[in-house]
Structure 1
Amino acid sequence: MEFDTIHNHHERPVIAEVVRVARERGLTDPRLLADIACVALNGLPPRYIRHDVDFAFYLTDAERRANAEAVEAAVAHAFDFVLDSERRRSRAA
């Protein structure tokens, strides 16, 4: 069985966007960045596939743009959500 090839199509683009935004903001805490990636992924519809190439082949240009915009929006929301939670937690401590 080839279950090890199954993955969520959004994982790689979300992680790339989290890394890009983290560099812009000067954030390096891996625990925080992992939380941000999880929140972003939970905000996107799951797209489980076996091969990225197969999935990309069937997308139109408009769908590719929409996916990229959805990833950017989900990551932006996740940064805000997780960083706000961290601020509230540190104030309460």
Structure 2
Amino acid sequence: MSLRDAIDNFYERLVQDAIDATREDTDTTDYLTDVMCVALNRLPSRYYRHSIDMMFYLADEELKGMKEKSLAAVKAARDFVKEHRRE
């Protein structure tokens, strides 16, 4: 097993949740993948090894703020990807 396989970025989960919450019928997998990449590039990394550690040590207000930042990043990424579509 690679060391990379032992860690995750908590924002990946939050961005995926924000994408799911804002999903539209016309969204394609390619479009949403681009949105996820752009959104994640606009957020800080928050790596963890065990998800239970993040949930246990993360204060409710901090988690709420991270969710809000993720949703804002996804909304901005949607606009960016739409404006820079490859035809």
Counterpart code for 2:21: R
What's the TM-score, normalizing by structure 1?
0.81
Taking only the aligned residue pairs, the percentage that are identical comes to 41
Structure 1's consecutive aligned runs of 4 or more residues displaced over 2 angstroms after TM superposition are none
What's the TM-score, normalizing by structure 2?
0.86
Cα offset, 1:30, TM superposition:
0.7
Q: Which deviates further from its counterpart, 8-17 or 70-79?
A: 8-17
- Tell me how far apart the structure 1 counterparts of residues 31 and 78 of structure 2 sit (CA, whole Å): 9
Gaps of 5+ in 1: none
Gaps of 5+ in 2: none
- Tell me how far apart the structure 2 counterparts of residues 14 and 47 of structure 1 sit (CA, whole Å): 12
- Tell me how far apart the structure 2 counterparts of residues 46 and 20 of structure 1 sit (CA, whole Å): 21
> Bigger relative contact order, structure 1 or 2, given CA contacts below 8 A and separation 6+?
2
In terms of fraction of residues, the more helix-rich structure is: 1
Q: Which has the higher Rg, Structure 1 or Structure 2?
A: 1
Q: CA RMSD in A?
A: 1.6
